[in-house]
Amino acid sequence: MQQQLGVSLDIIDRCQNHVLQGCKVRQHYIYHDYAIEKRRAWAAIGARLKVLLADPDDEEGV
């Protein structure tokens, strides 16, 4: 679902705590935690789930 919302595969992997393969040098020297990107990805899926789970009979919305 996140990919359908425009979230990159790299960020999806990080949201799912997958171990990322690649150059060992990058694993040791790249310290960016992608917190902002992950927060945006989770917010996007949260907003989508709200829409999907909304009660169509609720006039006030979710």
28-57: pLDDT as tens digits:
777 888 999 999 999 999 999 999 999 888
Computed over every residue of the chain, the mean pLDDT equals 85
User: CA–CA separation, 54 vs 23, rounded Å?
Assistant: 44
Domain that residue 21 falls in: 9-53
C-alpha distance from residue 41 to each of 1, 13, 18, 53, 61 (Å): 10, 11, 15, 18, 23
pLDDT of residue 37: 95
**Domain assignment present for 40:** yes
Residue 32 lies in a domain: yes
- Whole-angstrom distance, CA of residue 27 vs CA of residue 37: 18
Length of the chain counted residue by residue? 62
Of 28, 30, 48, 52, nearest in space to 10 by CA? 30
Q: Residue 58 falls within a domain, yes or no?
A: no
Predicted confidence (pLDDT) at residue 23 exceeds the cutoff of 80: no
Please check whether residue 49 lies inside any domain of the structure: yes
Domain count of the fold of the chain? 1
**1 in a domain, yes or no?**
no
The answer to the question of residue 60 being in a domain is: no
**In the predicted model, is pLDDT for residue 58 greater than 80?**
no
